[in-house]
Amino acid sequence: MLKEKISASIDKIRSIDGVAACALISRDGIISGKYFDRELNEPWFGAISATILASAESVVSIIRSRSMLSVTIRTQDTSMIIVGAGENFLIAAIIRDNAESPTVHAEMLAVAQKIGEAM
């Protein structure tokens, strides 16, 4: 049953216009489900995504800010969004450079909330 939920979650993330690649990752960095449109080192991608999110959450706590929504990494031709999806998972998605960033972000947050409630 969990396998089906993970697969359905990946399908939801992929359906967001602008998502080129994505993964559902445990908070300790293990990839549970994925869709990649490129070759990459999957264990490193999972581990680094979890580390980035945990580090950002720590900074938010240190500066006593309100809860963190996401981390965005931007390069010249693409971007990456990492979003917490409940206590156990996070979503890491590679976004095409022509995507509408605010729309993608809002849709990612909505999917992450549903995943967090379901798993």
pTM as predicted: 0.92
Can you list the domains of the chain with their CATH numbers?
A: 2-118 (3.30.450.30)
Q: In this predicted model, what pLDDT tens digit does every residue of 40-96 receive, in sequence order?
A: 999 999 999 999 999 999 999 999 888 778 999 999 888 999 999 999 999 999 999
Q: How far is CA 95 from CA 15, 80, 90, in A?
A: 12, 6, 16
First-residue to last-residue Cα distance in the chain: 11
Q: Give the pLDDT confidence of 70-81 residue by residue, as tens digits.
A: 999 999 888 999
**Which tens digits make up the pLDDT trace of 4-44?**
999 999 999 999 999 999 999 999 999 999 999 889 999 99
